[in-house]
Amino acid sequence: MTSLEDLPLRSDLRGSEPYGAPQLPDGIQLNVNENSYGVPESVQKKISREIEHSLSQLHRYPDREFVELRKLLANFLGYGLDENQIWAANGSNEILQQIHQAFGGPGRLALSFGPTYSMYPVIAKGTLTDYLELPREDGFTLSPNYVGEQIRANNPSIVILCSPNNPTGTAIDLDVIEAAYDATEGMLIVDEAYAEFSDSDSAISLLENRPRLVISRTMSKAFAFAGVRLGYMAADAAVIDAMRLVRLPYHLSSLTQAASRAAVMESETMLSNVREISVQRERVAAEFRKLGLDVYPSKSNFLLVSGFKDPRAVFDYLMNQGLIVRKTTIESALRITIGTEPENNKLLELMPSAIASLD
């Protein structure tokens, strides 16, 4: 039987591992930062109606420009945006990939500050873009001076700032984003996948007169829409034109567009659990601290928790009990998604035993 190593694979892909996270469909999944509350039933019905309306036209290609969805997304974001400043794709990962296809490539560098989202180097490699990840400052923070100095020193074509940052939950102040933009002649991407959980100001407020700034969003997290795969971005209209150069034809299916339109029209209902998730986040953080664990401040729907003598053993213990969290590359740390109240209760019930099992 032929193996991967027997194929004429690109040399830079040899030895690579595909991105992925363990799945536990019959257990409590607190490892991929989904919204555990799911899509409200009333919105499910609206989505079904929208999809049903599109079924008679499935023999036709979808709207290549998905104008109606872009109008709805512009209205949802606000800030005076219109559909010409909005783009969407199959998840925010495809948004990031398209930006790299348009502005990265051989001989060009993408720069970020880690630890951060592990797909950034994967996307860079897939588009033949060099990737450099520099360390964050104390407490996983970033300051304007540090970010500006590093960008000027390395002259990247693409800078990616994740805010709130995955896996640390850390938000980035707007003055850091302004400093990053001023320091580069390339594109600046602010990945706001978790923005709805944060009370920090969005980088969208900085878009005016900054044509190389892109703000990436997703409906996979707060919108509880991970299964639909809808990511989107706000940028200057010229950047949207650049996306058209690299997108595959008719890349958003009619069903994706229909479901997403319904969800955005019902955004208030879709986001109704965000406040409860934030309350649960602070409750879980407080209980972890009582156990002697270190919990980093988070503006997202997850917590970075450190102080585990053997985080892999804790992960295995919880997994064996039917609850899955996320291993990280950060020493002594696990990343834990905030679930529903019953899911969080089970997590808090199991954690003392998981810690005790190390002894």
Per-residue pLDDT of the chain (359 residues; tens, 9 = 90+): 688 888 998 988 988 888 877 787 789 999 999 999 999 999 999 999 999 999 999 999 999 999 999 999 999 999 999 999 999 999 999 999 999 999 999 999 999 999 999 999 999 999 999 999 999 999 999 999 999 999 999 999 999 999 999 999 999 999 999 999 999 999 999 999 999 999 999 999 999 999 999 999 999 999 999 999 999 999 999 999 999 999 999 999 999 999 999 999 999 999 999 999 999 999 999 999 999 999 999 999 999 999 999 999 999 999 999 999 999 999 999 999 999 999 999 999 999 999 998 87
pLDDT digits (tens, 9 = 90+) for 169-228: 999 999 999 999 999 999 999 999 999 999 999 999 999 999 999 999 999 999 999 999
CATH number corresponding to 41-268: 3.40.640.10
**From-to residues of CATH 3.40.640.10 in the chain:** 41-268
First-to-last alpha carbon distance for the chain, in angstroms, is 45
| Architecture per CATH, 22-37+273-356 | Alpha-Beta Complex (3.90)
Cα–Cα distance between 347 and 28 in angstroms, integer? 9
Centre a 10 Å sphere on the Cβ of residue 106 and count the other Cβ atoms it contains: 8
Residue keyed to tokens 């010229």: 238
Cα–Cα distance between 29 and 227 in angstroms, integer? 14
| pTM passes above 0.75 | yes
**The token pair that represents 67 in the structure block:** 């104008």
Please, are residues 326 and 335 in contact by the beta-carbon 8 Å criterion? yes
**From-to residues of CATH 3.90.1150.10 in the chain:** 22-37+273-356
Q: What distances in angstroms separate CA 173 from CA 141, 143, 305, one per listed residue?
A: 10, 8, 22
Integer-rounded Cα radius of gyration of the chain = 21
Please, are residues 126 and 97 in contact by the beta-carbon 8 Å criterion? yes
Helices 41-54 and 254-265 cross at an angle (nearest 10°) of: 140
Name the nearest CA neighbour of 24 among 334, 322, 337.
322
The H or E element spanning position 334 is strand 333-337
Q: Give how far the C-alpha of residue 232 lies from the chain's centroid of Cα atoms, to the nearest Å.
A: 11
